[in-house]
């Protein structure tokens, strides 16, 4: 590993430039992916990069609503109705000397720039300042995706044969709920182990929360507030529902615990209702995000408990039931700590860092659940960068963390192929 490290640092510009080039590709999603995305710009560049490395079988996989509908039916995964024009996954398969296949997964899409004037450096451009590389998506997660690709390049450049087959999956529409990885898993991308290269602050992530988003729209009866008793306030009905949801959250927090994850939670994130203080609210809509544990809780259980909590013993609501929409969801994920793939990664970490990675859980959901729950592949999450930089103005990635992750991924390839 010392020889490989020396080779990387002596030639580091060749391994930094592809990251700079990918950051310079505008791959923003529009409307959380619902209104489309510009991922094609990044996929075109990555295809040329894979081709330049030699020996890759490259596959383009256009996004399909039919595949996503099937995933919803079979696994309650998939976010329908997104504009998938010019959006496709890209897979690069590199052959190795053993039959085992290791997959690296990363999404090429980024969130929008937001307020461009708030950025210190141009966001669609990689700027190196000291040890920090600034740019939109450099942490979330073009750094991890490029590092995995560069691990293959590093081994090939150093004259080492790949000891196992390696597949790089560059997926789209992750910021819209994971559609790209869902399609890849549904279309048969499989292996003997998989690394989701999301930023983990140097830790090894082996669990994350499941999530469900609900929108509840309530109809009231508007009239002048001076005769409030003649109307029905949709806002007050919503408040009663939210009180029941708070009680449900308290019950969950008493009932469930997890060694790597926070307590289950329920967040009322938006509320819109009424038209004026002098008018009884004729309508109210609120949105809720629920985060729940793997194994001890399930999507079906959470949905049933939510619907039961807002089903109030109220004559008006019985006659005028609210409209409830579940508009995004993703399952929970957990990987056993004693799995052989976890042990393999820890050996790779020791070879590079001199110690095993700290094992943690993540409160945020990601594509790990998809690869484990749909594709059935042993899955871990490890990548350069910090969660705090995701979706942040002046997003940056440590150059040293990026280079070190290339070495960890290369070490994992060699350990996995033994």
Task: For residue range 271-295, list pLDDT tens digits in order.
Answer: 999 999 999 999 999 999 999 999 9
State yes or no: pLDDT of 87 exceeds 90. Answer: yes
Tell me the average pLDDT across 44-64: 97
HSE of 370, CA atoms in CB hemisphere, 13 A: 30
Span 210-330 CATH architecture? 2-Layer Sandwich (3.30)
pLDDT given for residue 387 in this prediction? 80
Rounded distance between C-alpha atoms, residue 218 and residue 239, angstroms: 11
State yes or no: pLDDT of 364 exceeds 90. Answer: no
Tell me the average pLDDT across 243-259: 98
Q: Which long-range contacts (CB under 8 A, 24 or more apart) does 371-374 make?
A: 371/103, 371/105, 371/181, 371/185, 371/194, 371/196, 372/333, 372/335, 373/75, 373/77, 373/331, 373/333, 374/71, 374/75, 374/77, 374/182, 374/185, 374/186
- Of the pLDDT bands very low, low, confident and very high (cuts 50, 70, 90), residue 164 is very high
| Residue-wise pLDDT tens digits, 103-139 | 999 999 999 998 899 999 999 999 999 999 999 999 9
pLDDT given for residue 2 in this prediction? 85
| Residue-wise pLDDT tens digits, 216-241 | 999 999 999 999 999 999 999 999 99
Q: Where are the domains of the chain?
A: 2-208+333-416, 210-330
How many C-beta atoms surround the C-beta of residue 164 within 10 A? 23
pLDDT given for residue 210 in this prediction? 95
Computed from CA positions of residues 382, 386, 390, 396, in that sequence, does the dihedral angle turn out positive or negative?
negative
CA angle 304, 366, 46 (to 5 degrees): 145
Q: Topology of 2-208+333-416 in CATH?
A: Aminopeptidase (3.40.630)
pLDDT given for residue 255 in this prediction? 97
**pTM (predicted TM-score):** 0.91
pLDDT given for residue 32 in this prediction? 87
Rounded distance between C-alpha atoms, residue 342 and residue 334, angstroms: 12
Average pLDDT, the chain: 96
| Residue-wise pLDDT tens digits, 8-17 | 999 999 999 9
pLDDT given for residue 110 in this prediction? 96
């Amino acid at each position: 590993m010392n020889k490989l490290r020396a080779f990387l640092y002596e030639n580091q510009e060749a391994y930094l430039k592809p990251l700079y080039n990918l950051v310079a590709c505008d791959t923003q999603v529009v409307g959380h992916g619902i209104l489309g995305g510009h991922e094609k710009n990044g996929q075109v560049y990555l295809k040329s990069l894979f081709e330049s490395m030699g020996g890759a079988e490259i596959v383009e996989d256009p996004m399909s609503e039919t595949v996503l509908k099937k995933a919803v039916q079979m696994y309650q995964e998939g976010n329908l109705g997104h504009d998938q024009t010019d959006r496709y996954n890209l897979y690069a398969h590199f052959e190795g000397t053993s039959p085992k296949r290791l997959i690296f997964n990363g999404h090429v899409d980024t969130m929008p720039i937001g307020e461009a004037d708030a950025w210190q450096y141009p966001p669609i451009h990689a700027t190196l300042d000291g040890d920090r590389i600034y740019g939109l998506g450099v942490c979330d997660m073009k750094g991890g995706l490029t590092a995995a690709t560069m691990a293959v390049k590093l081994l090939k450049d150093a004259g080492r044969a790949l000891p196992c087959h390696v597949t790089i999956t560059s997926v789209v529409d992750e910021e819209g709920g994971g559609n790209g990885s869902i399609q890849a898993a549904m279309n048969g991308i499989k292996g003997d182990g998989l690394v989701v290269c999301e930023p983990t602050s140097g830790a090894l992530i082996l669990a994350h929360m499941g999530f469900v988003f609900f929108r509840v729209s309530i109809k009231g009866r508007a009239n002048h507030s001076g005769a409030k008793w003649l109307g029905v306030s949709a806002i007050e009905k919503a408040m009663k529902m939210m009180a029941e949801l708070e009680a449900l959250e308290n019950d969950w927090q008493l009932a469930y615990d997890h060694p790597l994850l926070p307590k289950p939670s329920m967040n009322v994130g938006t509320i819109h209702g009424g038209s004026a203080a002098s008018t009884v609210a004729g309508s109210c809509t609120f949105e809720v995000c629920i985060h729940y544990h793997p194994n001890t809780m399930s999507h079906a259980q959470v949905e049933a408990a939510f619907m039961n909590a807002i089903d109030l013993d109220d004559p008006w609501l019985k006659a005028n039931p609210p409209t409830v929409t579940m508009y995004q969801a993703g399952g929970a994920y957990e990987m056993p700590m004693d799995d052989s793939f976890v042990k393999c990664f820890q050996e790779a970490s020791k070879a590079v860092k001199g110690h095993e990675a700290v094992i943690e859980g993540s409160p945020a959901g990601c594509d790990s659940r998809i690869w484990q729950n749909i594709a059935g592949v042993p899955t871990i999450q490890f990548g350069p960068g910090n969660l705090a930089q995701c979706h942040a103005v002046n997003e940056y990635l440590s150059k040293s963390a990026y280079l070190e992750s290339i070495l960890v991924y290369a070490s994992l390839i060699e350990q996995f192929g033994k």
